[in-house]
Amino acid sequence: MARLFEGRVVLVTGASSGIGRATAFAFAKQGAAVVVSARRVPEGEETAAAIRAFNEDSSFVRADVTRAEEVDALIARTVEAYGRLDFAFNNAGAIGGVRARTSEVDEAVFDQVVATNVKGTWLCMKYELLRMLSQGHGVIVNCASVMGLRGSEAPGVAYVGSKHAIVGMTKATALEYAPQGIRVNAVSPGSVLTEMSPFATMAPADRDARAKALHPMGRFVRPEEVADAVTWLCSDAASYITGHALPVDGGRVAR
C-alpha cells in the first residue's frame, strides 16, 4: 500500500527535538523525503540519521531562521537535493526564558523571541512561497500556540505576542495565496512537555497537577499529537482548509 506522502518533499524547521522532531518522523513514516533543519548541528544530524534508519530520503541542513541568507540557502538546498518542496512546517521558535511582567522584560530577550518566532516564520514563508509559486502548489503549516489564541500572564508578552503574530500572518498569507493553490495554516498546541517547556524542570507530581489544571483532558499534549495535526493539514483530507489556526490543546481554549 502506498504511503500518504510517497514522492513528496517536506521541510521541518526546529526539527532537532520536541514537536519538530516528532513531525519530521511522522512525515518520513508516510514516505516523504524530509529535510531536517535546526541551529543545533549534533541534534539535527542525529534526527536525520534516525530517520534514515527507515527512510533513506532524509538530510540535515543547518539554518538560523532569523537570517534571510540562511533561509534562502535552506530552501535552495532542499530543492537542489530533492527537486521540489511540497510541504513546510515552520516550527523553529523561542520562548524567552524566565517569566517576567511586561515592564520587566529585558529588551534583548524581547528582540530574540520576536526575531525567531515572528521574523523567522515570515522569512521561512517568504522563501518557501517563492518556490511553491513556481510549482503551482504547496502547503505551509506554522507553529503557533494556544497563547496565540488567548491572553496569558505566562510565559510573557514577547512569547504571547509573537504567537498572536504568527496566527495573524498565517491568515493574511493564506488569503494572499489561496488563488495560486497554496494553503497556509497553523497548529496551536497546548502545553507540550519538551525540553523548551517551563514545566520540564518541575517535580512530576507538580507537573501532573499543573497539566490537569490547564487542560480539560487532564494531561500535557504529546509532540506526536501535534505532528498528526500537521500531517493532516498537509494531506488531501484537508484540501479545502486554509487560514486556520488549529488548536491541539485538549479543550483548553474552549473554556
Q: What is the pLDDT of residues 227-251, one digit of tens each?
A: 999 999 999 999 999 999 999 999 9
Per-residue confidence (pLDDT) for residue 1, from 0 to 100:
56
Look at residue 219 and tell me if it is in a domain: yes
- Which residues partner with 60 through β-bridges? 36
Distance CA 147, CA 93 (A): 13
Look at residue 253 and tell me if it is in a domain: no
Look at residue 4 and tell me if it is in a domain: no
Average pLDDT, the chain: 93
Beta carbons within 8 Å of 160's beta carbon, 6+ residues apart: 147, 148, 151, 152
Per-residue confidence (pLDDT) for residue 152, from 0 to 100:
77
Number of folded domains in the chain? 1
Look at residue 3 and tell me if it is in a domain: no
pLDDT higher at 90 or 1: 90
Look at residue 225 and tell me if it is in a domain: yes
How many Cβ atoms sit within 10 Å of the Cβ of residue 170? 27
Note down the domain range covering 129.
9-246
Residues serving a catalytic function are: 159
Say if residue 8 is exposed, middle or buried (CB neighbours under 10 Å; 0-12, 13-18, 19+): buried
Distance CA 40, CA 107 (A): 24
Q: What is the DSSP string of 8-32?
A: -EEEESSTTSHHHHHHHHHHHHTT-
Prior bond to 198 cis, omega within 30?
A: no
Look at residue 72 and tell me if it is in a domain: yes
- To the question of pTM greater than 0.75 for the whole model, the response is yes
Per-residue confidence (pLDDT) for residue 45, from 0 to 100:
97
Look at residue 189 and tell me if it is in a domain: yes
Mean pLDDT value across residues 17-28 = 97
- Which CATH number covers residue 65? 3.40.50.720
Q: Is 221 helix (H, G, I), strand (E, B) or coil?
A: strand
pLDDT higher at 208 or 169: 169
Say if residue 65 is exposed, middle or buried (CB neighbours under 10 Å; 0-12, 13-18, 19+): buried
Per-residue confidence (pLDDT) for residue 196, from 0 to 100:
66
Look at residue 251 and tell me if it is in a domain: no
pLDDT class of 175 with cuts at 50, 70, 90: very high
* C-alpha cell recorded at residue 127: 522563501
Distance CA 250, CA 226 (A): 11
> What confidence tens digit (pLDDT) does each residue in 35-92 have?
999 999 999 999 999 999 999 999 999 999 999 999 999 999 999 999 999 999 999 9
